[in-house]
């Protein structure tokens, strides 16, 4: 009996590229407050680098406001510094152990810039999917050369790999178009 290529593994890896894209998109500001905007921020606390969500609770009480409640009063300044140094252009307002972060309106220039960044993220995801496809095709060719797969079976599996690649690319394009319209929406 002939061996079969691991299509499920290729599918999983392509879906992984789409998930990475969605995570990167969640960090792109759209003018609306989102906890995922500040979650990747790393705070130097207790002589170690820790994700923000391990030293504070992140809430979004209003569409244009993020509220961060720091658990340890001695870490408020460290959290404020981490947010200011994050490169997100956010300026927290300290209120005891709480930090309020107003999310400013995006101007047209910044919206276009963010749309370009979203395009770069999408292109990286497409390249990842194409690399997975190439890897799968290479394995098919090796199996065919080794005699584990007939030429007809190789063609069938090749078509299957191309189909899942096309589906993954289509999902990436749809995700990108949705994010781009969200960014450019005034």
pLDDT tens per residue across span 5-52: 788 999 999 999 999 998 888 777 666 777 877 887 889 888 889 888
Q: What is the share, in percent, of the chain residues with pLDDT greater than 70?
A: 96
When the pLDDT of each residue in the chain is averaged and rounded to a whole number, the result is 87
**What pLDDT, on a 0 to 100 scale, did the predictor assign at position 24?**
83
Q: Which two tokens mark 57?
A: 């609770």
**Is residue 99 within 8 Å of residue 68, measured between CB atoms?**
yes
**What pLDDT, on a 0 to 100 scale, did the predictor assign at position 167?**
96
**Is residue 100 within 8 Å of residue 67, measured between CB atoms?**
yes
Q: Is the pLDDT of residue 186 over 70?
A: no
90 vs 186 pLDDT, higher one: 90
Q: What is the share, in percent, of the chain residues with pLDDT greater than 90?
A: 44
Fold adopted by 35-102 = Gyrase A; domain 2 (3.30.1360)
Q: Using CB atoms within 10 A of its CB, is residue 140 exposed (0-12), middle (13-18) or buried (19+)?
A: buried
**Is residue 134 within 8 Å of residue 14, measured between CB atoms?**
no
Q: Summarize the confidence of residues 125-140 as an average pLDDT.
A: 95
Instruction: Tell me the pTM.
Output: 0.68
CATH code assigned to 7-26+107-184: 1.10.132.20
Ordered by start, the domain boundaries in the chain are 7-26+107-184, 35-102
> Residue 1's pLDDT band (boundaries 50, 70, 90)?
very low
Task: Please indicate whether the domains covering 7-26+107-184 and 35-102 agree at the CATH topology level.
Answer: no
């Amino acid at each position: 009996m002939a061996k079969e290529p691991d299509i499920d593994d290729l599918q999983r890896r392509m879906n992984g590229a789409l998930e990475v894209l969605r995570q990167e998109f969640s960090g792109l500001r759209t003018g609306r407050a989102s906890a995922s905007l500040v979650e990747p921020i790393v705070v130097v606390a207790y002589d170690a680098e820790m994700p923000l969500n391990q030293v504070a609770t992140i809430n979004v009480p209003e569409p244009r406001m993020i509220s961060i409640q720091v658990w340890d009063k001695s870490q408020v300044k460290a959290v404020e510094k981490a947010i200011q140094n994050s490169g997100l252009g956010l300026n927290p307002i300290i209120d005891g152990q709480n930090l309020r972060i107003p999310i400013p309106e995006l101007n047209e220039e910044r919206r276009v810039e963010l749309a370009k960044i979203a395009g770069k993220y999408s292109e990286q995801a497409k390249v990842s999917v194409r690399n997975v496809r190439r890897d799968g095709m290479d394995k098919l060719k090796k199996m065919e050369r080794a005699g584990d797969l007939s030429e007809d079976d190789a063609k069938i599996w090749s078509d299957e790999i191309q189909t899942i690649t096309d589906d993954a690319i289509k999902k990436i394009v749809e995700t990108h178009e949705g994010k781009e319209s969200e960014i450019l929406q005034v």
